[in-house]
Amino acid sequence: MSRPKKNQTPAEPPVKHSRQNHKIQTLKGFKDVLPEQQKFWNFVFEKVKDTADDYSFQKIDTPILESASLFQRTLGEETDIVGKEMYTFTDKSGELVTLRPEMTAPVARAYIEHGMVSWPQPVKLWYWASLYRHENPQAGRYREHHQFGYEILGGKEPTLDAELVIIAYGLYKSFGLEPEIEINSIGCQSCRKEYIKLLKKYFKDKKVCETCTNRLEKNPLRVLDCKENKCQENLKSAPQIIDYLCEDCKNHFVRLLEILDENSITYNLNPYLVRGLDYYNGTVFEIFVKGNDESRIALGGGGRYDYLIEQIGGRATPALGFAGGVERVVIKLKELGLEIKDEGHGDVFVAQLGDEARKKCMKLFNELRKQSIKTREAFNKKGLTEQLEIANRLKVKYALILGQKEIMEGTIIIRDMDSGVQEIIDFDKVIPEVKKRLLGLNGLKVYSENRITDN
């Protein structure tokens, strides 16, 4: 091999492969969502969106990649996410960037960047986003997962906290799940400071795990949700933050609980609930569902982050939010065997026999679609039996069959796929005829308001 000449960049070393043409697979902790799973994802998405519409949330999308400092400055250096899990790297222009591990900080950034402070307050935004955390993959834990969320920015009333809990509760109910709510208040900057002093004092002569020794130094509240036995034992008689809330925080929390009671929302007061991230204050809550072995699965969580917007350069703006994991809901829905209607199938299948019929059917297919009639086809197939089998699989209500004879006579066959009854109708009348039959099946309201206007 010749040596590179002076000033010439040496060639990149060859990439080593254990096998030639080896199979390339998804990265560890990443996954594909295959067509047969889409109905679950669509089901969840539709419910999330309907809920957003009901409560007047507007959708926001933010970039997958953000400046690393957005998360480093807000989530807390000592949190697992910032400490161990972020996909952070220097890009080609030398900027330190991060694949978003959560959505609250990006939404807060967007609130500032787009001057939403001058919009009518509170600003209510919802999202559906992929997130990246370099965790140890296991059941229901991925390195890329998806969350939906609702954020309310610019509002401090406890009614908003209550609304968010009610939204989350109602949403999980609408999935057909039995959500269990855990709720707590971790106070404001001033009452929390006092409580932390007490907590440190309490733990001073207690034996705690290595992680908690560190936490007591840097992020003492996190000691409260340690799962290690020896820490749990100590927690039993530790001071509880709820007893040390200042008047304002106490009143806020009591009002929130009263509203939940008024709305018959059951919850469990959990004095150890702190949530993992530094930006939270005041109300914090999490939603669980029972696993099939009586274990509990965390489905989502939220709370107030009244200091976050100021922390990243905005005006002091009280705010709160809730985020839920999509994959965990999908896993649970499948586990429960909930019947989810596959919305993918159409109303009508266009079947053709011969080149001439195919041409006419392609035109008819587009005309039906223009009329918002869900139409399916298999123009690459020639045999009628094969096409009708596909129509059957797609569970369409009617097949329209066109062959040479029908072209000559100016007709088309309409076949009811449930009964197998076939009728011959005028080709020119096929669209009004299909509409009429679908109206009868689906009810005038749905078709006249949303899909088909009868003429």
Residues that bind ligand AMP (CB under 6 A): 102, 133, 135, 140-142, 145, 147, 276, 298-301, 323-325, 327-328
Name the β-bridge partners of 99.
Answer: 65, 87
3-state class (DSSP) for residue 64: coil
Q: Give the nearer residue to ligand AMP in terms of CB position, either 34 or 139.
A: 139
Q: Give the nearer residue to ligand AMP in terms of CB position, either 302 or 318.
A: 302
Query: What backbone phi and psi angles, to 5 degrees, belong to 446?
Result: -55, -50
- Helical packing angle, 68-75 and 104-113, nearest 10°: 110
Q: Give the nearer residue to ligand AMP in terms of CB position, either 133 or 222.
A: 133
Question: CB under 8 Å to 174, separation ≥6 — which residues?
Answer: 47, 50, 51
CB 301, min distance to ligand AMP, A: 4
Q: Give the nearer residue to ligand AMP in terms of CB position, either 330 or 353.
A: 330
CB 291, min distance to ligand AMP, A: 12
The type of residue at 174 is S
CB 55, min distance to ligand AMP, A: 19
CB 410, min distance to ligand AMP, A: 58
In the complex, which residue's CB is closest to ligand AMP? 325
Q: Tell me the residue ranges of DSSP E strands in 306-421.
A: 319-325, 348-352, 375-377, 398-402, 411-416
The type of residue at 202 is Y
Q: Give the nearer residue to ligand AMP in terms of CB position, either 323 or 394.
A: 323
CA distance 152 to 160: 8
CB 12, min distance to ligand AMP, A: 34
Task: Evaluate the CA torsion angle 446, 447, 450, 454 in order and state its sign.
Answer: negative
Return the residue matching tokens 């229901």: 140
CB 49, min distance to ligand AMP, A: 18
Q: Give the nearer residue to ligand AMP in terms of CB position, either 282 or 325.
A: 325
Q: Give the nearer residue to ligand AMP in terms of CB position, either 7 or 138.
A: 138
Cβ-contact 110, 103 below 8 angstroms:
no
Closest CA to 321 of 126, 114, 77: 126
Task: Evaluate the CA torsion angle 219, 221, 227, 233 in order and state its sign.
Answer: positive
Q: Give the nearer residue to ligand AMP in terms of CB position, either 196 or 323.
A: 323
The type of residue at 395 is K
CA distance 171 to 168: 5
The type of residue at 354 is G
CB 186, min distance to ligand AMP, A: 14
CB 171, min distance to ligand AMP, A: 13
